[in-house]
Amino acid sequence: MRFALIGNPGVGKSTIFNQLTGLGVEVNRYPGSVVALEQGNVCYKNEKIEITDLPGIYSLDGSSDEEALVRTFIEERNAACLIAVLDATRLERNLYLLLQVAEYRMPMIAVVNKIDEAERSGLTIDTRRLSELLGIEVIAVAARQGRNIDRIVPAALVSARPPGVLTPYDHHIEAALTSLEKTLSTPRHRSLLALQGVSQDPLLRDSAESIAREIEQRHRMSVHQIIATNRHNFSRHLAAAVIAIGERKAPFDLDSLLTRTIPGIPILFAILVFVLLTVFVIGSWLEGIIVPAFTTYVIAPFIALGLPPLPAQIGLSLLVALQAGFGIAFPFVLTFYLAFSFLEDTGYMTRAAFLADRAMHRLGLHGEALIPMVIGFGCTVPAIMSIRILKTRREKTIAAFLITMIPCSARTVVIAGIVAAFIGLFWAFTIYLIIFVLIIVTALLLSRITPGEQFGMIVEMTPLRRPQPALVLTKAWIRIKEFLFIAMPVLIVTSIALGLLQYSGILDALQGIVAPLMMSLLGLPPYASTALLFGIFRKELAFETLAVLGGTADLGSIMSAVQLYTFAIISVLFIPCVSTIAVLYRNLGARIAVLASVYSVSLGIFIGALINLLMK
Amino acid sequence: MEQMTIDFSVREDFLEAIFILARDGRRPPFVREVASALHKPEGEVLPVLTILGENNDIIIDGDGGISMTPQGQDLGMRVVKKHETLQCFFSEILGMDGPSASNEACTLEHAVSDDTINRLGTYLKYSPSRLQKGTESVWGTACPLSALTDFNEGDDVVVQQILGQERANRLLDLGVVPGERVRIKRKLANQALVVQVKGCDVALSPEVAASICVERAP
The pLDDT value recorded for residue A161 is: 93
Residue A217 in domain = no
Give me the torsion for CA of A123, A124, A127, A129, rounded to 10°: -110
| Number of structural domains found in chain A | 2
Tell me: do B9 and B94 sit in the same domain. yes
Helix axes A539-550, A526-537, angle to 10 degrees: 150
Residue A166 in domain = no
Tell me: do B162 and B212 sit in the same domain. yes
Work out the burial of residue B106: count CB atoms within 10 Å of its CB; fewer than 13 is exposed, 13-18 middle, 19 or more buried: middle
Last residue of a domain, one of A127, A159, A191: A159
Question: CA–CA separation, A471 vs B81, rounded Å?
Answer: 52
CB contact under 8 A, B171 and A458: yes
Region B111-134: mean pLDDT is: 66
- Is A427 in a helix, a strand, or coil? helix
Residue B182 in domain = yes
Residue A534 in domain = yes
Decide the pairing of beta strands A81-87 and A108-113: parallel
Give me the torsion for CA of A225, A229, A235, A240, rounded to 10°: 160
Residue % of chain B over a pLDDT of 70: 86
Region A532-544: mean pLDDT is: 71
Residue B140 in domain = no
The pLDDT value recorded for residue A92 is: 93
Confidence of residue A88 (pLDDT cuts 50, 70, 90): very high
Encode pLDDT of A160-176 as tens digits.
999 999 999 988 899 99
Task: Collect all residues of chain A within an 8 Å Cβ-Cβ radius of residue B162.
Answer: 225
Domain that residue B23 falls in: 1-131
Instruction: Phi first, then psi: give them for residue A305, nearest 5 degrees.
Output: -65, -30
The pLDDT value recorded for residue B136 is: 35
Q: In 3D, which of A44, A124, A27 has the Cα closest to residue A81?
A: A44
CB contact under 8 A, B174 and A93: yes
Region A391-419: mean pLDDT is: 87
Which runs of E-coded beta strand occur in B55-114? Answer: 58-60, 66-68
A358 in reach of chain B (CB within 8 A): yes
Tell me: do B72 and B27 sit in the same domain. yes
The pLDDT value recorded for residue A348 is: 92
Which of A105-109, A142-146, B96-100 is least confident? B96-100
The pLDDT value recorded for residue A557 is: 81
Encode pLDDT of A369-387 as tens digits.
999 999 898 888 889 988 8
Q: In 3D, which of A237, A77, A90 has the Cα closest to residue A162?
A: A77
pLDDT surpasses 80 at A594: yes
For residue A146, the domain's CATH number is 3.40.50.300
- Consecutive H or E run containing A324: helix A309-328
pLDDT surpasses 80 at B204: yes
- Is A538 in a helix, a strand, or coil? strand
| Number of structural domains found in chain B | 2
Residue A168 in domain = no
Encode pLDDT of A100-125 as tens digits.
999 999 999 999 999 998 988 888 99
pLDDT surpasses 70 at A250: no
CB contact under 8 A, A62 and B188: no
Which chain B residue shows the shortest CA-CA distance from A216?
Answer: B126
Last residue of a domain, one of A124, A159, A194: A159
The pLDDT value recorded for residue B128 is: 47
Question: CA–CA separation, A277 vs B144, rounded Å?
Answer: 49
Encode pLDDT of A205-232 as tens digits.
888 988 998 888 777 778 888 899 999 9
Last residue of a domain, one of B97, B131, B165: B131
Query: In chain A, which among 534-563 make CB contacts under 8 A with chain B?
Result: none
A139 vs A416, residue with greater confidence: A139
Which runs of E-coded beta strand occur in A312-431? Answer: none
Domain that residue A139 falls in: 2-159
Does the interface ipTM go beyond 0.90?
A: no
pLDDT surpasses 70 at A135: yes
Residue B139 in domain = no
Confidence of residue B142 (pLDDT cuts 50, 70, 90): low
Tell me: do B84 and B180 sit in the same domain. no
CB contact under 8 A, A458 and B174: yes
Encode pLDDT of A453-470 as tens digits.
777 889 898 888 888 888
Tell me: do B82 and B157 sit in the same domain. no
Residue B142 in domain = no
Question: CA–CA separation, A112 vs A243, rounded Å?
Answer: 12
Which positions ≥6 away from A85 have C-beta within 8 Å?
A5, A6, A7, A11, A12, A13, A16, A110, A111, A113
Last residue of a domain, one of A101, A135, A159: A159
Region A496-520: mean pLDDT is: 80
Mean pLDDT, chain A, whole residue set: 86
The pLDDT value recorded for residue A31 is: 62
CB contact under 8 A, B166 and A93: no
Tell me: do A508 and A379 sit in the same domain. yes
Helix axes B114-126, A202-219, angle to 10 degrees: 140
Confidence of residue B130 (pLDDT cuts 50, 70, 90): very low
Region A472-496: mean pLDDT is: 81
Q: In 3D, which of A353, A399, A403 has the Cα closest to residue A378?
A: A403
Distance of CA B112 to the CA centre of its chain: 15
CB contact under 8 A, B186 and A255: yes
Residue B168 in domain = yes
Residue B6 in domain = yes
pLDDT surpasses 60 at B131: no
Interface test with chain B among A86, A354, A360, A464, by most B beta carbons within 10 Å = A354
First to last CA, chain B: 33
Tell me: do B11 and B107 sit in the same domain. yes
Tell me: do B121 and B48 sit in the same domain. yes
Decide the pairing of beta strands B193-197 and B181-187: antiparallel
The pLDDT value recorded for residue A435 is: 93
Residue B92 in domain = yes
Task: Collect all residues of chain B within an 8 Å Cβ-Cβ radius of residue A358.
Answer: 188, 190, 192
The pLDDT value recorded for residue A24 is: 61
**Is the bond leading into A263 cis (omega within 30 degrees of zero)?**
yes
Tell me: do B92 and B117 sit in the same domain. yes
Cα atoms in the Cβ-side hemisphere of radius 13 Å centred on A193: 23
Encode pLDDT of A265-313 as tens digits.
999 999 998 998 898 889 888 888 888 888 889 888 988 888 888 888 8
Question: CA–CA separation, B48 vs B10, rounded Å?
Answer: 8
Confidence of residue B1 (pLDDT cuts 50, 70, 90): very low
Region A318-344: mean pLDDT is: 85
For residue B191, the domain's CATH number is 2.30.30.90
Tell me: do B78 and B111 sit in the same domain. yes
Confidence of residue A158 (pLDDT cuts 50, 70, 90): very high
For residue B90, the domain's CATH number is 1.10.10.10
Last residue of a domain, one of B84, B99, B131: B131
Residue B141 in domain = no
